[in-house]
Amino acid sequence: MLRKIRLQFILIASVAVTVILIAFAGVLNSARYIQNNSEIELILNLLSENDGQLPAGSELAKALTGSHLTVNRAEHLSYFSYVLDGEGAILSSDMTRNQSLTEEGLNDFKEALESAESSSIIYYDGRYYAHRETTATASNSLVVVLDISHYIDERTELFETSFQMSAYSLIFFVVVVFIFSGWAIKPYVENAENQKRFITNAGHELKTPLAIISANTEMQELLDGETEWSRSTKAQVQRLTGLINQMVTLAKLEEQPDVALSELDFSRIVQDAAEDFKAALIKDGKAFELDVAPDVLVKGEEKSLFELVTILVDNATKYCDPEGKVTVRLSKTPLKKANLEVANTYQAGKGIDYSRFFDRFYREDSSHNSRVSGYGIGLSMAQSMVRLFRGKISVHYKDDTITFKVVL
């Protein structure tokens, strides 16, 4: 149990930190992306408004006011421009501030730009460019192009660095949590172990006075004959003994960290366990349907699997409507796992919190005076058994029918 709780603690803590680190890296990269895009848009606007050139001196400083872009960085940007006539031919170009493209390659770049998608960013000859086309005169247009390769490189470098640091931080965190997790959950584990130990010890201690009460009652009946009060006493002793036995069984189930599992014929187990209820159901005027696929194999322990099926079918029998129907189906899932479904009709089942059905001592009737016999821990035992066999159990209500589903 300690190992399971420790792993759950490490997993939850690691997932939480992973989400935080990813969120931090995402916000950091998003901020850089937005900042770069705003700088690119600003430069393209300035180039378009100044015939393909950046303003000089104080005018440039004024234009950059409020942005993260400095005058020194702006002056070292690589850009160029060219003018197109009405038919799309290049009339003139300005390549003085261009550091990556030659005059001879301008026509090839223009053709690549025209064949590219509508995006304002183009990849050409190993570099990234952002462009904008504006109207220069009635018949001519101005195309300004900014080399943004260094912006892309900065984004990529930040992305790689931030997520590398996040990965290293996560590994460091997992190592630290793994070292200290045992100490962190120790009080909880000790408390849980003490509770289970108390249940087991108390169960054994209570059996002795119950046995004495039962013996005294039988002796009283031998002397004075059976009475209403003696029958009631024996019934309550029997009920309390059953409750103690189930509580001890549940505690022992949860104390087993691992159990030796062997491959078993689940079809035979389900058939044998469910058949025991057939006669009683038919006698009560209820329908019973048993549909068991052959050769369904599972890894488990035979006695516990038989008890699991018995608990579910017994629960369905108790809560089935008068003249209702109990259905037991066993099939294989697409992943070749065993799929057991135990269902019963229950028209009064709307509005019930089915998520609490596996709580210990939970009864549908909050007063615990339900007409249905039982202690409210059978389904909790079933859940513990399913977990022991590394399976899943669930319950749902639909069309006036409660269905318990077990996948092993």
More confident residue, 48 or 301: 48
Determine the 3-state secondary structure of 144 from DSSP. strand
pLDDT at 8: 80
pLDDT at 194: 64
Q: Cα(213)–Cα(211) distance, rounded to whole angstroms?
A: 6
Q: Cα(305)–Cα(311) distance, rounded to whole angstroms?
A: 10
Give the strand pairing for 287-292 and 127-135.
unpaired
More confident residue, 50 or 182: 50
pLDDT at 405: 93
The DSSP output letter for 53 is S
pLDDT at 341: 93
Mean pLDDT on 284-290: 91
Mean pLDDT on 20-40: 92
Full set of structural domains in the chain with CATH: 2-155 (3.30.450), 183-255 (1.10.287.130), 262-407 (3.30.565.10)
More confident residue, 85 or 207: 85
Say if residue 254's pLDDT is above 60. no
Q: Quick one: pLDDT band at residue 209, thresholds 50, 70, 90?
A: confident
Say if residue 177's pLDDT is above 50. yes
| pLDDT 10s digits, 303-335 | 888 888 988 998 889 889 888 999 999 999 888
Q: pTM of this prediction?
A: 0.50
Hey, which residues does 331 pair with through a beta bridge?
A: 339
Q: Cα(262)–Cα(300) distance, rounded to whole angstroms?
A: 5
Distances (CA, A) of 398 to 254, 287, 403: 31, 18, 8
| pLDDT 10s digits, 117-144 | 656 788 888 889 999 888 877 788 899 9
Hey, which residues does 394 pair with through a beta bridge?
A: 405
Q: Cα(75)–Cα(61) distance, rounded to whole angstroms?
A: 11
Strand order in the sheet with 127-135: 90-94, 79-84, 141-147, 127-135, 121-124
Q: Cα(200)–Cα(253) distance, rounded to whole angstroms?
A: 11
* Burial status of residue 368 (CB atoms within 10 A of its CB: 0-12, 13-18, 19 or more): exposed
Q: Quick one: pLDDT band at residue 171, thresholds 50, 70, 90?
A: very high
> Do 299 and 260 contact (CB within 8 A), yes or no?
no
pLDDT at 370: 45
pLDDT at 348: 82
> Do 29 and 160 contact (CB within 8 A), yes or no?
no
Determine the 3-state secondary structure of 140 from DSSP. coil
Long-range Cβ contact pairs of 236-239 (< 8 A, separation 24 or more)? 237/210, 237/213
Mean pLDDT on 207-219: 79
Query: What does residue 225 show for φ and ψ, rounded to 5 degrees?
Result: 90, 165
Q: Cα(214)–Cα(226) distance, rounded to whole angstroms?
A: 13
pLDDT at 372: 47
Q: Which DSSP string corresponds to 325-378?
A: EEEEEEEE-TTS-EEEEEEEE-GGGTT--GGGTTSTT--SSTTS--SS-S-S-H
